Structure 1
Amino acid sequence: MRQRYSFHVDQGGHSVTVNVRSGWITETELLVDGKECAFHRVHGHGSYPLTLGARLAEEPPRPLAVTLDRTGTAEHPLSCVLDFAGTTHPMPENTAR
C-alpha cells in the first residue's frame, strides 16, 4: 500500500515543502517556493536518514538541506528537519492532504 507524507515550513521568507510517496517505489521531492529543487527515487521503502540539498534563488545563493529519518512510531513514522542559515528547524507534518 502506498503511503504519502508531506512536511512544510515557512522560513526566511521562503516556503519549503517535502513530499514523500512510499511503496514499491519511494519518491521524495523537495520544493522551495513551489519549485522542485531536489528529487530522490528508490525501489522499496527507502533508506533513512535521507538528506536532500538545494540553493535558494537569491544573490548570493544560500544553501539549505532537509533530512528525513524514521521515528520508530506508527503514528508518525517519518520526521523531517530543515537545516538553513546554520540552524535546524523541525518541519511539521502536513496532515491535511
Structure 2
Amino acid sequence: MHMRHHFHIDHAGHSVSVTVETGRNPVVEVLVDGKEVAHETTAHDRPIVLPIELPTDPPTSAEVRTASGPGVPRCILHLPDGEQHVMSPRPY
C-alpha cells in the first residue's frame, strides 16, 4: 500500500516542500518556491539524498535527506555549513 507524506520548511525567505510517496517504488519530489527542483524514484525504503539550490544571492546549495521507512518518513534540510533543519510534516 502506498501513502503520500508532505513536509515543509521556510528557510532564508524560500519555501521548501517535499512529498514522499511510500510503497513498492518510493518517490521523492522536492519543490523550492513552488517549482520542482528534484525528483527521484527508488526501490525499497532506502534513504535518499537530493541536491537542491536555494535561489538566494548568491545561490545556496543544500541537500534534502529523506528516509521513507520503515514507519513514518522523515525529511531533513542539510545546509553546506553543516546546519540541519528537521522539516515539519504537513497533513494534506
Tell me the TM-score normalized by structure 1: 0.80
- The answer to whether residue 17 in structure 2 is matched with residue 17 in structure 1 is yes
Q: Distance in 1 between matches of 2:68 and 2:5?
A: 12
Structure (1 or 2) with the greater strand fraction: 1
Residue 45 of structure 2: aligned partner: 46
* Post-superposition offset of 1:71: 6.8
Distance 1:5 1:24, change over 3 A: same
Q: Looking at CA atoms only, which structure, 1 or 2, has the larger radius of gyration? A: 1
Q: Which runs of 5+ in 1 are unaligned?
A: none
Aligned residues: 91
Offset from partner CA, 1:44-85 (integer Å, 9 cap, x none): x4312x11111122332110111112576x4xx211111135
- Structure 1 SS opposite 2:89: coil
Q: Distance in 2 between matches of 1:56 and 1:14?
A: 7
Q: Distance in 2 between matches of 1:55 and 1:22?
A: 25
- Whether the 8 Å contact between 2:62 and 2:79 is mirrored in structure 1 is yes
Percent identity over the alignment is: 33
* AA aligned opposite 1:63: S
Q: Which runs of 5+ in 2 are unaligned?
A: none
> RMSD of the TM alignment (CA)?
1.9
